Structure 1
């Protein structure tokens, strides 16, 4: 399987969002130039319909992560996993999750920067993607409680982070810059 760089998704046949963050939901057909992408704050029925039709027509359904929600100042928002579930229900086809918590993504990232899991750490705010990804890659994990996961949520999982901190600021002194 070959994953395309984000820039390769930007072409005349892509569905573009009005949101400035990189889109995370990706479906790709075997035909050059036909790709669908999107995590956005402005979902449209037209874009979802196009994704469903492309996937039913043979597009490969690839998502970066199964996150069902994302935090915002106004409260939770639907995220990639929610949109993927809608498309799965409509097509009967489940996506391949290429990003967190996929261990292949973690190994590829470590290799790309010349790092080893023994000397690297995963810092995140989600038990189900960030901490799981780090654990499956053999890394030390730090759960920061500034996101969706609360201290009470940790007991819902059969695994544990190496360390739990209130904020990423609590980790600054641990960074080795030598």
Structure 2
């Protein structure tokens, strides 16, 4: 039997792995219910549209994930900044951890601001009806642009990290 006391002694990697597996299982379950259980139910006002039975569950699940991720991100940033400010110089193992923390935090906020300013607020047609709420159109575009940019940065970082071994072994051969 798994006890909370046992989990407290697990390494961070194992805990995060189990949380990831749990989130993947929940997402698969919610999306499977959405797509495979009463997906073809006709919409009461216009039978040409579908009104899947588990639409509300999917929306609530996504909203909970957004709120949870925003809350945990804010908590992690505040904890990190508070912990690093208490160390005086902000250096940890000769790494400027406080400076890196500030750059990531302000860089992310800056990306959000620039993406919001660049985003389009042009009206669009949704299900045959005009949608022209300028603010929400810009916010949705902002999140799309930010997501694409952060994913591109993450992919670039992974590729750069994966080539580290190749670059390191190449330097050894050149120096020898």
Bigger CA radius of gyration? 2
Does TM, normalized by the shorter one, top 0.5? no
- Into which bin does the TM-score normalised by the smaller protein fall? under 0.3
Q: TM-score, normalised by structure 2?
A: 0.23
**Which protein has greater RCO, CA pairs closer than 8 Å, 6+ apart?**
1
Q: By percentage of residues, which structure has more helix?
A: 2
